[in-house]
C-alpha cells in the first residue's frame, strides 16, 4: 500500500471522528439539564434510536472480531451475529414496561431504574454499579484492541498511543454533549457501518462470485496447508459445540438486558414506535451480519486460494479491504472506527453515570447535579485509561473480549431488569444476593481466564462452556431462589402499573 | 390460579430451565441445551404479555411461538446436514451454502427476523394500544397528584 493511500484512509477515518465531534458540538444545545446530559431525554424517533442501538450493540466486536473469528473458525460466531430476532423479542417482552418506568420519574440511568423498581435499595445499586463498571472495562478494551489493529495495519503505531489519541477525541465530544450527543453520533456511525456493509457485500460477490466458490475453496487442496478447516462452513463451524450453545444463548437472552438496548428504549419519544424501532434496528443489524459474513468468507476464499496471508484473525477485515482496493478501504476503515467509537461513547457515558451518580448515591454520598458532570468527565478519562490497560494485559482477540463484556453486562442486568420487571415476586434481597453472586463469580471467572493466559492455571470449564454462561446462570437462579425464600417488596403503585402494562 | 401465583410458578420454572440448560451444556449435551433455551424463551414470552392479571396467549403464539418453531427447525436441519456431510464436501448446496448452514441462514436468521420485525408491527395495537398507553400515563399523573396533595407543608 502506497503512503498516499495510507494517508487518504487516515483522512477518511478521521473524517468520521471530526463529524462525530461536530455532531456532539451541535447536540450540546439540546443539553438543557443534567438529566438530559445523563440520558433522561425522551425525544428521539425510531430511526435515530434504531441506528444508534445497532451501532452501539454491533461495535468493533462485530466489524473486526466477528470476521476474524469467521475466518479462523467458521460459522460458529455467526450464530451470535445472526440472532437478530432476539432484538425484537427483547422489545416485545420488556420494551413497554421499561419505557413506562421512564414515565414515572426522572430516569437518566440504569441506577435510577433500579431505584424505582427496588425502592432505592442501596446494595442493589452498588452491585449494579460495580458490575456495569467491570463490563464497561471489558467492552471498552475490545474497542481499544480493534482501533489498535486498525492503525497497526496502516502505520505500525504503538497501541497505547493509538488508544490515547482516539479516547481523547472521543472523551472530548462525549463530555460536551453527554448521552444526547452520544445517541446522535451513534446514529451517524450506524449509518457509516451500514454504508460500508453495502460496499463490502457487493465487493464480496464481485471477488468470489458467491458463497459456493468459498465452500469449494475451503474444501480444496490448499485448505489444510492454509490452516483452514472445512467444518467451518457447517451450521456449527469448527469450534466445539459448547461455543455454538453459548453464542446462541448469549445474544438471545443477553440482548434484551444490554445497557445499549435498555438505555435507548428509555430515550424513545413514543413507546408505540417500538415495533418500527425494532424493524430499523434489525434491518441495520442484518446488513451488518451479511457484511461480516462476507468479509470472513472473503478472507477464507483469498487465503485458501493463496492470494493473501493473514497472520492474526483480527487483521482479516483489513487484509480483505486492502485486497479489494481503495474504494473498500475508504469505507471499511472509517466503519471500524465508527463501530469502536459508537460503543465506546456509550460505555464511557455509562461509566461516567456510574461514578458520578449511581455509585455515590448507593454509598449515601450526595453530589450536586452541576458537580456530577465534572465528576463524570473525570471518570470517563480514568475509564479510558483502564480499558487501554485491560486490553494490553489480557491480549485476547477482539471478539473474545467483546463476548466477555457482553456476558458480564448480561449477568449484571438480567436479575434487575428482566426478572425484576417480569415478576413482582422478585424481592430486593433476592436480587441483591443474585447480584452479589454475579459480582463474585465474574471476578472469579476473569481471574481464572487471566491465570490461564499467563499459564498459571490449567482449569477447564465443564463441557468447554465459556465462563460467563455459568455466571449468568448462577446470578439468575440465585435471584429466583432467594426471592422465593424471602418476602416481596411493597411496590410503588405506579411501578405496578408499569409492570402490568 | 391467580396471575401473581402463575407468574411465580413460571419464574420458578425458568430457574429450573436455566439450571437444566447450563447443566446439559456443561455435561456435553449442548444441542439439547439449545432446545431447552427455546422453552426458556417461551416462558419469558408468556411473562412479557402479562397485563392486569391476564396473559395474552395470542400475542405469544404470534409472532414469538412461530419464531421459536423456526429456530427448532433450524437446529434440527442444521445438525442433520452437519452430521450427514461430516468430513467431506456436501453433495449439494443451497444458495451456495453448505446445506446445514443454509438451514441457519433461512430459518435462524432471515425468515424469523422478517417475521418478528414485521409481525411485531402487525400486532402493535394488541401489544400496546394508544388507549392503554394514555390510560397508563393518566393514572401515573393522578397518582403523582395524589402524592403531592397528600404531602403536608413544612
Which residues of chain B have a CB within 8 Å of the CB of A289?
A: 109
Smallest Cα distance from A111 to chain B, Å: 21
CB contact under 8 A, A423 and B28: no
Number of domain units in chain B: 2
Burial of B150 (0-12, 13-18, 19+ CB in 10 A): exposed
Which residues of chain A have a CB within 8 Å of the CB of B51?
A: 500-501
User: Do B83 and B152 share a domain, yes or no?
Assistant: yes
Mean per-residue pLDDT, A26-51:
78
Indicate the fold that domain A3-395 takes in CATH: Sodium/glucose cotransporter (1.20.1730)
Model confidence at A381: pLDDT above 80: no
User: Do B31 and B95 share a domain, yes or no?
Assistant: no
Residue B2: domain span: 1-55
pTM of the model: 0.91
User: Do B117 and B76 share a domain, yes or no?
Assistant: yes
The pLDDT-based confidence of B154 (bands split at 50, 70, 90) is very low
Contact A251, A83 (CB under 8 A): yes
The per-residue pLDDT of chain A, averaged, comes to 87
Model confidence at B103: pLDDT above 90: yes
The Cα–Cα gap between A333 and A13 comes to 6
Q: Tell me which residue in A248, A463, A470 faces B34 most closely, judged by beta carbons.
A: A248
Contact A150, A337 (CB under 8 A): yes
Query: Taking CA atoms, what residue in A is nearest to B133?
Result: A501
Phi first, then psi: what are they for A490, rounded to 5°? -75, 120
Q: Tell me which residue in A244, A248, A470 faces B22 most closely, judged by beta carbons.
A: A470
Model confidence at A383: pLDDT above 90: no
User: Do B47 and B82 share a domain, yes or no?
Assistant: no
The pLDDT-based confidence of A229 (bands split at 50, 70, 90) is confident
The Cα–Cα gap between A387 and A172 comes to 17
Query: Taking CA atoms, what residue in B is nearest to A96?
Result: B128
Which percentage of chain A shows pLDDT scores above 90?
Answer: 42
User: Do B77 and B146 share a domain, yes or no?
Assistant: yes
CB pairs under 8 A between A and B: 229
CB contact under 8 A, A283 and B53: no
Contact A197, A289 (CB under 8 A): no
User: Do B30 and B70 share a domain, yes or no?
Assistant: no
Query: Taking CA atoms, what residue in A is nearest to B115?
Result: A85
The Cα–Cα gap between A134 and A438 comes to 11
Query: Taking CA atoms, what residue in A is nearest to B70?
Result: A85
The Cα–Cα gap between A113 and A433 comes to 18
The pLDDT-based confidence of B152 (bands split at 50, 70, 90) is very low
Smallest Cα distance from B152 to chain A, Å: 19
Burial of B109 (0-12, 13-18, 19+ CB in 10 A): buried
Contact A78, B74 (CB under 8 A): no
CB contact under 8 A, A84 and B67: no
The Cα–Cα gap between A273 and A113 comes to 21
The contacts of residue A339 (CB under 8 Å, 6+ apart) are A55, A58, A59, A60, A62, A63, A64, A146, A189, A193
User: Do B98 and B151 share a domain, yes or no?
Assistant: yes
Smallest Cα distance from A21 to chain B, Å: 33
Which percentage of chain B shows pLDDT scores above 70?
Answer: 95
User: Do B16 and B46 share a domain, yes or no?
Assistant: yes
Model confidence at A432: pLDDT above 90: yes
User: Do B79 and B116 share a domain, yes or no?
Assistant: yes
What pLDDT digit, counting tens, does each position of A294-341 carry? 999 999 999 988 899 998 898 899 999 999 999 889 988 888 888 888
What pLDDT digit, counting tens, does each position of A237-279 carry? 999 999 999 999 999 999 998 888 998 898 899 999 999 999 9
Which residues of chain A have a CB within 8 Å of the CB of B120?
A: 88, 91-92, 274-275, 278-279
User: Do B34 and B80 share a domain, yes or no?
Assistant: no
Smallest Cα distance from A344 to chain B, Å: 27
Q: Tell me which residue in B79, B95, B128 faces A96 most closely, judged by beta carbons.
A: B128
Mean per-residue pLDDT, A70-90:
94
Query: Taking CA atoms, what residue in B is nearest to A103?
Result: B137
Domain boundaries, chain A: 3-395
Whole-complex ipTM:
0.94
The pLDDT of residue B69: 98
CB contact under 8 A, B128 and A272: yes
Smallest Cα distance from B149 to chain A, Å: 16
Which residues of chain B have a CB within 8 Å of the CB of A465?
A: 22, 25-26, 30
The pLDDT-based confidence of A354 (bands split at 50, 70, 90) is confident
Query: Taking CA atoms, what residue in A is nearest to B125?
Result: A272
The pLDDT of residue A226: 59
Amino acid at each position: 500500500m502506497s503512503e498516499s493511500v495510507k494517508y487518504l484512509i487516515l483522512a477518511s477515518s478521521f473524517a468520521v471522528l471530526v463529524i462525530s465531534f461536530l455532531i456532539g458540538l451541535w447536540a450540546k444545545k439540546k443539553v438543557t439539564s443534567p438529566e438530559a446530559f445523563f440520558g433522561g431525554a425522551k425525544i428521539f424517533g425510531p430511526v435515530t434510536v434504531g441506528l444508534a442501538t445497532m451501532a452501539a450493540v454491533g461495535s468493533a466486536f462485530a466489524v473486526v472480531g466477528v470476521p476474524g473469528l469467521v475466518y479462523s473458525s467458521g460459522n460458529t460466531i455467526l450464530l451470535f451475529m445472526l440472532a437478530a430476532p432476539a432484538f425484537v423479542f427483547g422489545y416485545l417482552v420488556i420494551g413497554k414496561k421499561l419505557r413506562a418506568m421512564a414515565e414515572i420519574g426522572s430516569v437518566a440511568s440504569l441506577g435510577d431504574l433500579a431505584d424505582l423498581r427496588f425502592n432505592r435499595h442501596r446494595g442493589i445499586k452498588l452491585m449494579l454499579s460495580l458490575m456495569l463498571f467491570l463490563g464497561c472495562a471489558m467492552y471498552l478494551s475490545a474497542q481499544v484492541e480493534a482501533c489498535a489493529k486498525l492503525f497497526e495495519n496502516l502505520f505500525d503505531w504503538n497501541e497505547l498511543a493509538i488508544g490515547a489519541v482516539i479516547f481523547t477525541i472521543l472523551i472530548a465530544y462525549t463530555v460536551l454533549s453527554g448521552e444526547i450527543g452520544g445517541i446522535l453520533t451513534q446514529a451517524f456511525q450506524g449509518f457509516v457501518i451500514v454504508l460500508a456493509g453495502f460496499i463490502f457485500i457487493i465487493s464480496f460477490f464481485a471477488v468470489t462470485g458467491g458463497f459456493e466458490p468459498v465452500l469449494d475453496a475451503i474444501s480444496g487442496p490448499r485448505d489444510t496447508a492454509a490452516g483452514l478447516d472445512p467444518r467451518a462452513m457447517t451450521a456449527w463451524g469448527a469450534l466445539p459445540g459448547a461455543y455454538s450453545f453459548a453464542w446462541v444463548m448469549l445474544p438471545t437472552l443477553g440482548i434484551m438486558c444490554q445497557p445499549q438496548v435498555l438505555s435507548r428504549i428509555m430515550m424513545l419519544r413514543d413507546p408505540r414506535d417500538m415495533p418500527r424501532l425494532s424493524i430499523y434496528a434489525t434491518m441495520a443489524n442484518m446488513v451488518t451480519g451479511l457484511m461480516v459474513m462476507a468479509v470472513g468468507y472473503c478472507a477464507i476464499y483469498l487465503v485458501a486460494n493463496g492470494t493473501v496471508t493473514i497472520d492474526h484473525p483480527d487483521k482479516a477485515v483489513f487484509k480483505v479491504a486492502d485486497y479489494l482496493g481503495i474504494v473498500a478501504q475508504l469505507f471499511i476503515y472509517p466503519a471500524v472506527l465508527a463501530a469502536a467509537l459508537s460503543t465506546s461513547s456509550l460505555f464511557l457515558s455509562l461509566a461516567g453515570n456510574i461514578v458520578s451518580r449511581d455509585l455515590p448515591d448507593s454509598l449515601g454520598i450526595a453530589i450536586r447535579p452541576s458537580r456530577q458532570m465534572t465528576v463524570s468527565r473525570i471518570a470517563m478519562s480514568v475509564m479510558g485509561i483502564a480499558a487501554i490497560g485491560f486490553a494490553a494485559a489480557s491480549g485476547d482477540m477482539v471478539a473474545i473480549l467483546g463476548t466477555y463484556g457482553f456476558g458480564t453486562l448480561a449477568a449484571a442486568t438480567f436479575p434487575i431488569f428482566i426478572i425484576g420487571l417480569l415478576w413482582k415476586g422478585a424481592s430486593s434481597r433476592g436480587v441483591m444476593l443474585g447480584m452479589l453472586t454475579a459480582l463474585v463469580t465474574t471476578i472469579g471467572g476473569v481471574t481464572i481466564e487471566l491465570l490461564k493466559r499467563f499459564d498459571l492455571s490449567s482449569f477447564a470449564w465443564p463441557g468447554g462452556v465459556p465462563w460467563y454462561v455459568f455466571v449468568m446462570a448462577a446470578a439468575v437462579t440465585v435471584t429466583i431462589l432467594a426471592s422465593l425464600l424471602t418476602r416481596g417488596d411493597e411496590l410503588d403503585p405506579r411501578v405496578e402499573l408499569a409492570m402490568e402494562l | 390460579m391467580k396471575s401473581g401465583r402463575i407468574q411465580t410458578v413460571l419464574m420458578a420454572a425458568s430457574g429450573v430451565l436455566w439450571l437444566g440448560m447450563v447443566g446439559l451444556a456443561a455435561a456435553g449435551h449442548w444441542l439439547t441445551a439449545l432446545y431447552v433455551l427455546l422453552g426458556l424463551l417461551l416462558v419469558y414470552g408468556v411473562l412479557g404479555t402479562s397485563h392486569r392479571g391476564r396473559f395474552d396467549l395470542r400475542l405469544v403464539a404470534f409472532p414469538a411461538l412461530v419464531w421459536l418453531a423456526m429456530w427448532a427447525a433450524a437446529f434440527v436441519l442444521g445438525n442433520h446436514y452437519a452430521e450427514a456431510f461430516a468430513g467431506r464436501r456436501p453433495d449439494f448446496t443451497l444458495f451456495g451454502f453448505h446445506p446445514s448452514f443454509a438451514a441457519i441462514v433461512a430459518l435462524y436468521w432471515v425468515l424469523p427476523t422478517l417475521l418478528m420485525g414485521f409481525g411485531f408491527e402487525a400486532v402493535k395495537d394488541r401489544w400496546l394500544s394508544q388507549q392503554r398507553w394514555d390510560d397508563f400515563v393518566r393514572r401515573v399523573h393522578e397518582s403523582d397528584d395524589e402524592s403531592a396533595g397528600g404531602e403536608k407543608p413544612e
